[in-house]
Amino acid sequence: MKVRFFPLTFALLTGCADLSAVSDISKNLKDASSAWGDVGAELAASCKREIKLNPSLTNCSVEIAASAGLAQMNDVLSGYFQALGDVAAETKFTIKPGLDKATAAVAKIPKIDSDRVKAVSGVVALLTKLANEGARERTVQDLIENGAPPARKIIGGLDSLLAVRLIRQLETERTQLTSQFSTWIASERGDLSEKPEAVCSGSKASTFNGPGYLLSLEYCRQLDVINGRIKAVESYRQSLKKADAALAELQSTDIRFNTKALAKNLYAIGSEIHDDVAAIRKAFD
């Protein structure tokens, strides 16, 4: 049987690899997964806030199930990134307790396809196997060759299952916010019937009475948070694309691809991920 080596793996086994770049990118990816968790939780949180604005709305069971499953997907990715960094640093890694239950939770995400569920199951199985076997010379190869493909599929799932749905949910919350505050301000003889959001940038609020003015300030504060989060979803999507690109670099089988070039590319991707994560945290913290 013909044995296929990744350039990074071959360098590792021949004692020539500098894995500091791998260690560094794993830290960037682990940090990104922490920020991704905040974005995933926002789907259920936004729905709950919307219900407070309009109690007649239906419950948030679908959004809660989606956020719970997305959190498990993210935990699996976080465990994978952690393992990659630990192995690169020649440190024994362990897996997060309860990770074996991730597949069941992920399967409950509305409209998830079976390939995503299998990807989660595959990464969990790989991490469990490698953690039980302990560090060995093929661990890096196993993590990249057998772990990166399903990990990339999970990353794609975080985009397709959350990004568009979250934007839609936040826009719905924004509509409810505007409707409710317009009613409250109208009860104080203020008028937001024409371009309500304009009250946040013009002098119109100064014509309201005291309670109406305070209500307009609170409306604008909450509106600014929602708009900031809608905008930050793009940073979330970009960070996912760059995480996918980082794993693609590690998977590269181009014989012209040396570890120096790999390190250069990973450092560049890591810097971009850092900027995206900063934008996500600013909006969702």
Q: Which of 166-180, 228-242, 247-261 has the least mean pLDDT?
A: 247-261
Q: pLDDT category, 6, cuts 50, 70, 90?
A: very low
- What does the mean pLDDT of the chain come to? 85
Residues of the chain above pLDDT 90, percent: 57
Question: Rounded distance, CA 57 to CA 169, Å?
Answer: 13
Residue 97 three-state SS: coil
Highest mean pLDDT, choosing among 81-95, 109-123, 181-195 = 109-123
Give the closest residue to 35 by CA, choosing from 248, 235, 173, 170.
235
Structure confidence at residue 281 as a pLDDT band (50, 70, 90): very high
Q: Could you tell me which residue, 18 or 220, shows the higher pLDDT?
A: 220
Q: What letter would DSSP give residue 3? A: P
DSSP letters for 15-59: T---THHHHHHHHHHHHHHHHHHHHHHHHHHHHHHHHHH-TTS--
What is the distance between the alpha carbons of residues 281 and 158, in angstroms, rounded to a whole number?
17
pLDDT of amino acid 198: 86
Contact present, 143 and 29 (Cβ < 8 Å): no
